[in-house]
Amino acid sequence: MPAQDPVIRCRNVWKLFGHSPKNYLETAKGGRSFDEIRQDGYIAAVRDVSVDVGKGEMLVIMGLSGSGKSTLVRCMSRLVDITGGEIAVDGTDIMKLDERELIQLRRRKMGMVFQSFGLLPHRTVLENVAFPLEMRGQDRHDRRERALEVIKLVGLEGREEYYPRELSGGQQQRVGIARSLAIEPDIWFLDEPFSALDPLIRREMQDEFLRLRGMLGKTIVFITHDFDEALRLADRIAIMKDGAIEQCDTPDKIVLKPATPYVAKFTEDVEKSRVVHAGGLVVPVNGYALEGAPVDAGATILQLARQLVNDTREVLPVQGKDGAIMGAMKRQDALDILLGPV
């Protein structure tokens, strides 16, 4: 992580549902497993989570249904009040904000996209997209301009006057995305944005999303239950189970070194050569004599397959985005990933 402060900083965050969760958490501080807590009559939706999201970073939170991933993102946006711990956004503890400050925070800094879109059925596309601008009192002309701009950005030009029910699922989610971007938020939350769409549209929307992400450079927290989607989109992935984070790391590391048997179950069937990049296999140069043309750190092993098979060098130099040599990649390591261990 870069040295600057994280945009979102979670420390020992707990969210319990039950009769009087605050008291329970104080008396039974830590140490209790998900099942023990359930036997005590509480549901631990988020269990002692500490995670940072850096500026411009995209964190994907992956977990099966009921793992607490949706609750965690709602804690970060304070749609849900946490039971214990601390969440800071740009250094401010969001649990200390009063209603007005919270509304201001959302009006200036946050945007969110929902699984089933959360569109207002009585408003046209244009009115839906302009809704956050209307809430903060922007005048009619300005908000129309801006709304048309984002509608164009998500490729819904010409549909401004339609009502949500007149659009397909994919189009509705484009409206949801446009609405979340209308206020030019710094932080962008996406709660399983593509899960309700059919596979072909999902693929198309993922590409569209990658395009937007490249253009906008926002800090993103993305929720999904689809491991492939997580691998495809993430800078870092946090895998959740029973409210706790099992492992939080880059896709390369998760695939190469799953921290727990639970994570390993997901990575088992993944074709690693598609996921792992040359940069993920880098070892320090010391001792190796580097020669010849370097490979790109950002290239996947699959992309380098032909070269790896034909090359005769024992170790290959790896160069980063800036062109500097990051270190060395052992050819054998890469071949192991491509062909499976001997």
Partner 1 sequence: MAVADFSSTTTSGRGFRPGLSAMLLGLAVFLAVLKPFLPAFAVRLPDAAVLPYDVWFQSLFDFLKDDLGLIYVTRTISAGLEWLLDITANLFYGKHRWPYIGPMPWAAVAAVVAIIGYALKGWKMALLGAVTFVWVALVGQWEIAMQTMSVIAVAAPVAVFVGLVLGIFAWKFPRFEAFLAPVLAIFQTLPFFTYLLPAVIFFKVGPTAGCVATILYAMPPMVLMSTLGLKKVRSEVVEAGHMSGSTRWQMLRHVYIPSARTEILVGVNQVIMLSLAMVVLTAFIGMPGLGAKLLSLMNSLKLGRSFEIGVTIVLIAVTMDRMSKAWVVTQPVHYERGTPWWIRHRYPLLAVGAFIGITVLAQAFPILAEIKRGQDLSIGSEIDSVITAILSNDVVTGVTGWLRGFLVTSVLIPFRNALLWLPTISILLACAAAGCAVGGWRSAALASGFLAIVAATGWWDRAVITLYSVISAVCVAALVGLPLGVLAALKRRWSDPILIACDTAQTFPSFVYLIPAIMLFGVSDVSVVFAIFIFATVPLMRYTIEGIRAVPEEVAEAADMSGATRMQKLFKVQLPLALPTMVIGVNQAIMFAFFMVIIAAFIGTQDLGQELQKTLAGNELGKNFVLGMCVALMALAFNHILMRWSEDRRKTLGLG
Residues at the site binding partner 1, with contacts judged by CB under 8 A: 74, 77, 79, 99, 103-104, 106-107, 110-112, 114-124, 131-132, 134-136, 158, 160-163, 165-166, 176, 179-180, 183, 189
Report, in Å, the least distance between residue 74 CB and partner 1: 7
- Are 15 and 82 contacting, i.e. CB atoms less than 8 angstroms apart? yes
Report, in Å, the least distance between residue 210 CB and partner 1: 23
* CA distances to 20, 63, 168 from 83, in Å: 10, 21, 39
Hey, which residues does 328 pair with through a beta bridge? 283, 317
- Are 269 and 101 contacting, i.e. CB atoms less than 8 angstroms apart? no
- Give the residue with the Cβ less far from partner 1, 58 or 187: 187
- Give the residue with the Cβ less far from partner 1, 165 or 306: 165
Report, in Å, the least distance between residue 317 CB and partner 1: 47
The two structure tokens encoding residue 22: 């605050």
- Give the residue with the Cβ less far from partner 1, 18 or 118: 118
Cα distance between residue 48 and residue 52, in whole Å? 13
Report, in Å, the least distance between residue 136 CB and partner 1: 6
State the residue for tokens 């040295």. Answer: 3
Report, in Å, the least distance between residue 103 CB and partner 1: 5
Cα distance between residue 154 and residue 213, in whole Å? 12
- Are 235 and 52 contacting, i.e. CB atoms less than 8 angstroms apart? no
Determine how β-strand 187-191 pairs with β-strand 219-224. Answer: parallel
Report, in Å, the least distance between residue 174 CB and partner 1: 15
Hey, which residues does 8 pair with through a beta bridge? 53, 89
Determine how β-strand 236-241 pairs with β-strand 58-63. Answer: parallel
Cα distance between residue 69 and residue 102, in whole Å? 22
- Give the residue with the Cβ less far from partner 1, 40 or 160: 160
- Give the residue with the Cβ less far from partner 1, 103 or 293: 103
- Give the residue with the Cβ less far from partner 1, 5 or 81: 81
